């Protein structure tokens, strides 16, 4: 399905982005990988080339519109177009709102998690319309359900949901589909250690274990690729979280209690 298709992946140097890159490489895709970490990006690019894929590695920051333009320009110059954009780059936070010491955290979260999607979509969209391609946004279940200690992160993911919901209406009939991915906690990422703490710095290495309900990167990658193949609108991982979304509509108080309880257990 993805043989000779051109796939742009942001946040591709680690975590889900890296796993998706290798999975698409196994299917013979032409890849354009984007991240701030140039050395790590080159390492992932080399792995993809070893799998027989063509791979372009572009270092840059999704928070900078000019970097996203350069990414798309180089991709089109190399491969002739864009078939899929996987907007995966993101950063988290882990701090109680009233204890935050540096409000710049909130701007940085919006710059990366929300504007990073806007920037990459804006420059890729003309080419996606030509190919009747697809936008794949790796959002979070927190785009629909609030979680303590994640106020800025949740707000940025709500913004992504609103942006893509509106954009979907504008693109009706264009042939471009949009998939929003709403995963639970993912294992095997540096999301928590690279999250902003209350002082505005990164939390650093963390010894806390993931929730038993967290998802492996491989399982998430497989689910995402299957959803892309079927050109779905929304993917909730794991599927049972759909029940939580439904419950949130009819009794949000119960959901708030459940979420707080789960987080308290995870923090112990």
**Rounded distance, CA 53 to CA 56, Å?**
10
Tell me, what's the pLDDT at 254? 77
Tell me, what's the pLDDT at 135? 98
In a domain, 196, yes or no: yes
In a domain, 201, yes or no: yes
Tell me, what's the pLDDT at 191? 67
CATH of the domain at 175: 3.40.50.720
Tell me, what's the pLDDT at 86? 98
**Rounded distance, CA 214 to CA 45, Å?**
27
In a domain, 44, yes or no: yes
If DSSP codes are grouped into helix, strand and coil, which group holds residue 202?
Answer: strand
What is the distance, to the nearest Å, from the Cα of residue 213 to the centroid of all Cα atoms in its chain? 19
E strands present in the chain: 6-10, 30-35, 54-59, 84-87, 134-138, 177-183, 234-237
In a domain, 249, yes or no: no
Q: How many domains does the chain have?
A: 1
Phi-psi region of 11 (alpha: psi -120 to 50; beta: other; left: phi over 0): left
If DSSP codes are grouped into helix, strand and coil, which group holds residue 94?
Answer: coil
List 79, 84, 123, 153, catalytic entry: 153
In a domain, 256, yes or no: no
Name the least confident of 175-189, 216-230, 244-258: 244-258
Tell me, what's the pLDDT at 75? 98
Tell me, what's the pLDDT at 24? 98
Residue-wise pLDDT tens digits, 187-230:
867 666 778 898 888 777 654 554 556 789 999 999 999 999 99
Tokens representing 20?
A: 């998706």
Laid out side by side, the sheet with 177-183 consists of 54-59, 30-35, 6-10, 84-87, 134-138, 177-183, 234-237
The boundaries of the domain holding residue 103 are 6-241
What's the pTM? Answer: 0.91
Active site residue 114: no
Tell me, what's the pLDDT at 186? 85
In a domain, 133, yes or no: yes
Tell me, what's the pLDDT at 207? 41
In a domain, 121, yes or no: yes
In a domain, 255, yes or no: no
- Give residues with Cβ within 8 angstroms of 239, minimum separation 6: none
């Amino acid at each position: 399905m993805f043989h000779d298709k051109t796939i742009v992946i942001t946040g591709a140097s680690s975590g889900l982005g890296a796993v998706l890159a290798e999975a698409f490489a196994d299917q013979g895709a032409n890849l354009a990988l984007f991240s701030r970490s140039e050395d790590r990006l080159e390492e992932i690019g080399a792995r993809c080339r070893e799998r027989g894929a063509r791979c372009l590695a572009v270092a840059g920051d999704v928070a900078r519109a000019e970097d996203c333009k350069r990414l798309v320009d180089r991709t089109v110059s190399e491969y002739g177009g864009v078939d899929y954009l996987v907007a995966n780059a993101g950063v988290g936070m882990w701090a109680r709102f009233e204890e935050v010491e540096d409000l710049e955290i909130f701007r940085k979260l919006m710059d990366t998690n929300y504007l990073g999607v806007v920037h990459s979509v804006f420059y890729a969209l003309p080419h996606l319309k030509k190919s009747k391609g697809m936008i794949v946004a790796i959002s979070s279940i927190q785009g629909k359900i609030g979680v303590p200690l994640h106020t800025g992160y949740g707000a940025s993911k709500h913004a992504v949901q609103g942006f893509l919901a509106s954009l979907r209406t504008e693109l009706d009939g264009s042939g471009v589909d949009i998939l929003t991915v709403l995963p639970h906690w993912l294992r095997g990422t540096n999301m928590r250690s690279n999250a902003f703490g209350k002082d505005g710095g990164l939390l650093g290495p963390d010894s806390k274990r993931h929730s038993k309900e967290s998802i492996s990167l491989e399982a998430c990658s497989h689910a995402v690729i299957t959803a892309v193949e079927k050109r779905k609108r929304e993917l909730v991982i794991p599927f049972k979280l759909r029940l939580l979304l439904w419950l949130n509509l009819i009794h949000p108080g119960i959901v708030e209690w459940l979420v707080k309880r789960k987080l308290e257990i995870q923090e112990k």
